[in-house]
Amino acid sequence: MSMYTDYKKSRLSFGIDAIGSTVIVIELKSGIKGYGVTIGGAPACYIIENHLSRFIEGQDVRNIELMWDQMFRSTIN
């Protein structure tokens, strides 16, 4: 986006904080928690909770590559 004059000065003008941040917390049955932070705000929260969560809930935590691949592929048109 920096190639466009209107957006060259700052990332705030087109992305960072434009729609808010998202904090993701994943908790195992044992109580161990993992955290992630991204941009996306409310739209990202909706997608995570209503679509992507199905690919990690109930999975073995050692299946990181499988979970990542399924989440990635499920969002490709």
Between 20 and 42, the higher pLDDT residue: 42
- pLDDT at 9 > cutoff 90: no
Given the structure tokens 């190639």, which residue do they identify?
3
Confidence of residue 65 (pLDDT cuts 50, 70, 90): very high
Confidence bin at 7 (pLDDT 50/70/90): confident
Query: What integer pLDDT is reported at residue 18 of this predicted model?
Result: 67
* Confidence (pTM): 0.71
Say which amino acid occupies 49: E
Compute the distance between CA of residue 53 and CA of residue 4 in angstroms, rounded to an integer. Answer: 36
Burial of 72 by CB count in 10 Å (0-12 exposed, 13-18 middle, 19+ buried)? exposed
Query: Which structure tokens are listed for 25?
Result: 């917390």
- Domain 11-74: which topology? Enolase-like; domain 1 (3.30.390)
d(CA 22, CA 7): 23
Per-chain mean pLDDT for the chain: 89
Domains of the chain, by residue range, sit at: 11-74
Residue 16: the pLDDT is: 63
